[in-house]
Structure formats: structure tokens, C-alpha cells
Amino acid sequence: MKITGDQALVKKINKSLILHTIRKHAPLSRARVSEITGLNKATVSNLVAELCSEELVNEVGPGESSGGRKPLILHFNDRAGCVIGIELRVRQLTAVLCDLGGHVLKECEVDLENHHLPYVLEQMKRIIAELIGSAPDSHYGIVGIGVGVPGMVDEQGVVLFAPNLGWEMVDLRGLLEQEFSVPVTIDNEANAGAQGELNFGAAQDVRHLLYISAGSGIGSGIIIGGELYKGARGYAGETGHMTIEAEGKPCSCGSRGCWELYASERTYDNPGLNLPARTTPELVRYALDQQEDTLRHFRTIGEYLGIGVTNLINSFNPELIVIGGALSEAEAWLGEPLRRVVAERTLPYHKQQLEITFSKLGSRGTVIGAGFTAVMHFLGRTRVTL
């Protein structure tokens, strides 16, 4: 049964529109909301009253007059509730407590000793419980938990396959919802990162974004029309296994010449390179000391990143590309070769209008994005397409 139109829907659309207008443009008056949205002043007044009584919006007193009656200033009430954002990584678990505005209230980290599901789940539950315990009192309390995991996730929040954890078909959402009785959203780590940059980082208000998470592998978060695109079964964006050398090195995925064999931290293990270290933070320090092998290798990685990025540009024609993940810390050395290769290899029209930047949120992008996914899930959004 499809979605039909009735008055309830109209109200939902307009209320959602007003809520998100206030969230993005606060502080502002009812009159300004009416101007921005095109809704009648009376409609705005009514719906704002409801939003206020739902504690999602606050009236914080009069503002400056612009030649008439003083406006009553509205704010989105960041403190109406809290969410928990979690990033599950290979060696660590990062978790944050955020308010509805995405402000981090508390942060913690645990090292993981192994990847057995019961153990990892135990750690997650412990850290979540701890954060929930330290959450400030609020009208809605904890409204959701968002998790970013290094693997493929379907629409139901089942981790289909996470090679770095050795997980297959883990119903992570079910397990966490059962424990905490709040809505849980599970997302691929790159998708969470994309959400973070889209809402708080380098990609605010971008319609078509490609977020590339380059770390121990490569994954992409694809935002189309302001909306996360997950594909038919939820595992779009597995770009690390894009072939860039038809007869290249064999990959653990069963294919050959995969992009991430040439442009991720997986290259560090290559013995021929003579690298003085095996982790990005260490190599960054060597690069700062002008260590030759490191500089050369970063240049190579940058160039290979450029090849894959070019492929994605040709397919998606995004407005903006954001490079995130552990490798983004090497921006200083990757940026030039990456942009050079993209400029060399893309079609002329792409060059003019495409921007490539590195993550603004750095290593916290994913965990903030995961949390924010839960916020958006709580607030909802109803829109019309013509």
C-alpha cells in the first residue's frame, strides 16, 4: 500500500519542514520561518506552538526590532534528548553521548582484545550503559543509538559481512534494541562518516556527496539528493573492491587489482617499499621529517586514490568529494598527487565544478555521524518530490 495524501500528511510535511528550518537557521522568528518556508504565518504559529509543547523548540525571548514589533526568537531545543553514537573499529570502540544538535557531551574509548561477538557486544553494552548513566536529564531521554561498523549492513540493521571482524549475519540492531529498548540504527562506517560530514563537517547542504573513507580498506558513503543511498540490499559503496588493474594483485575478496590494494593502509605491508613504520600516524611523523620512502609512498597512494576517485566521479558526478578515514591525516602529502591525477584523468567538464576536500571532523566524523543518524531517525523527515 502506497503513501496517500490527506490532511494528516499535510501537517506532517509542514511540521517537519518547520522543525528542520528552525534546526538549521536558528535563532529566528516565526515571521522569518514563514518567509523561508512559504507557509502562512498562522500555520507557522500553530505548528510552532505544537513543537514548543513537544519541547523540540524553545522560545528564548524577544530579539532586535527591525522597525516594528520585536520578534520572539525560536531555537531548536538541542537538549530535548540525547543519542549515543558508536564507532566499532578493528582495535577500538569509540562512543559518544550527543545532544540532538550533535554536540558531544561525553566521549569514551575501549580497546578491543578480540572480535568474538559475545565479547564485543559485552563491551558495547557496558560503554553504552555507562554513557546512558551519565546523560543529563531531558524531556525525551535517550532517543536512539547509532552504530557505525566496518562492513556491510542491510536495511534491517543486520551486519551481513564484516571481514575485519570475522562477522557474518549479525543482527546487531536486534541485539542492542533488545537490551536498551530504544531505536538503534546500524550503518556502514563510511555511511556514518558521510552523514557526519554532511551535517556538521565539510559537506553541509551538499545534495550529491561522495565520502571516501580510506583507512585499512576503502569504503564510500554515497549521498544522493541529501539522502544516504544504500542500494538494493544495503551494500552500495563497496568501492574498495573496484578493479583498477584488470590483472592486478589478487585480493582477499576473491577478485584482483582492487583499489584498496593500491590506495589504503593495506599497502604498508608490501615488503618492497622499505617503509619505516606500518601505521598512518607513525608514517605521518616520518613524512614530517622528510623521510624519503614515506614521502614517495604517500605520493603513490595519493595517485592511486586519484584513479579511483576519477572512476567514481565519472559514475556519480557528485558535487563534492570528501576524503575521510585514517589516511586523511596524511592530507598534506596525499592532496597534491590526488588532485593532479584527477585533473589529468577526468573529462574536461568535471574539472570545472568539482571540489575535493578532506574531512573536517577527522577521526570523530564517523562516531558523530553515527549518532546523528539516530537523531534524524528520531526527528523524522517527510518531504514531497514532484
Q: Which of residues 57-96 bind DNA (CB under 7 A)?
A: 62, 65-73
Size, binding site for DNA by CB under 7 A? 33
**Per-residue CA distances from 278 to 110, 268, 275, 328 (Å):** 22, 6, 7, 16
3-state DSSP of 128-145: HHHHHHCCCCCCCCEEEE
* Cβ 229 to a copy of itself shortest distance, Å: 6
Q: Which residues of 295-317 are buried (b: 16+ CB within 10 A; e: fewer)?
A: eebbbbbbbbbbbbbbbbbeebe
Tell me: does residue 48 bind DNA (CB under 7 A).
yes
**Cα(329)–Cα(355) distance, rounded to whole angstroms?**
19
Give the list of residues 6+ apart from residue 383 with CB closer than 8 angstroms, or none.
13, 16, 17
* Cβ 10 to a copy of itself shortest distance, Å: 4
Given the rule CB under 7 A, which of 36-44, 300-308, 311-319, 332-340 is the region that contacts DNA? 36-44
Cell 490532511 -> residue: 7
Among residues 243 and 363, whose Cβ is nearest to a copy of itself? 243
Among 237, 302, 324, 335, binds a copy of itself (CB under 8 A): 237
* Cβ 316 to DNA shortest distance, Å: 35
Cell readout for 289 is 621529517
Tell me: does residue 272 bind a copy of itself (CB under 8 A).
no
**Binding partner selected for residue 339 from a copy of itself, DNA, none, CB under the kind-specific 5 to 8 Å limit:** none
* Residues in 193-212 at the binding interface with a copy of itself, rule: CB under 8 A: 207-208
**Binding partner selected for residue 90 from a copy of itself, DNA, none, CB under the kind-specific 5 to 8 Å limit:** none
* Residues in 36-55 at the binding interface with a copy of itself, rule: CB under 8 A: 36-39
Among residues 45 and 255, whose Cβ is nearest to DNA? 45
Among 2, 7, 137, 289, binds DNA (CB under 7 A): 7
Among residues 27 and 248, whose Cβ is nearest to DNA? 27
Which of 121, 3, 101 is closest to 58 using CA atoms? 101
**Binding partner selected for residue 242 from a copy of itself, DNA, none, CB under the kind-specific 5 to 8 Å limit:** a copy of itself
Tell me: does residue 180 bind a copy of itself (CB under 8 A).
no
**DSSP per-residue codes, 294-354:** HHHHHHHHHHHHHHHHHHHHHHH--SEEEEESGGGGGHHHHHHHHHHHHHHHS-HHHHHH-
Among residues 69 and 249, whose Cβ is nearest to a copy of itself? 249
Contacts 24+ apart (CB under 8 A), 117-126: 117/167, 117/170, 120/88, 120/93, 120/165, 121/175, 123/93, 124/86, 124/88, 124/93, 124/95, 124/176, 125/176, 125/179
**Binding partner selected for residue 79 from DNA, a copy of itself, none, CB under the kind-specific 5 to 8 Å limit:** none
Tell me: does residue 255 bind a copy of itself (CB under 8 A).
yes
Task: Collapse the DSSP code of 251 into the 3-class scheme (helix H, G, I; strand E, B; otherwise coil) and give the result.
Answer: coil
Tell me: does residue 264 bind DNA (CB under 7 A).
no
Tell me: does residue 241 bind a copy of itself (CB under 8 A).
yes
* Cβ 161 to a copy of itself shortest distance, Å: 6
Among 224, 273, 277, 295, binds a copy of itself (CB under 8 A): 224
Evaluate whether 82 touches 98 at the Cβ level (below 8 Å). yes
- The footprint of DNA (CB under 7 A) covers 4-8, 10-11, 14-15, 29-32, 39-43, 45-49, 62, 65-73
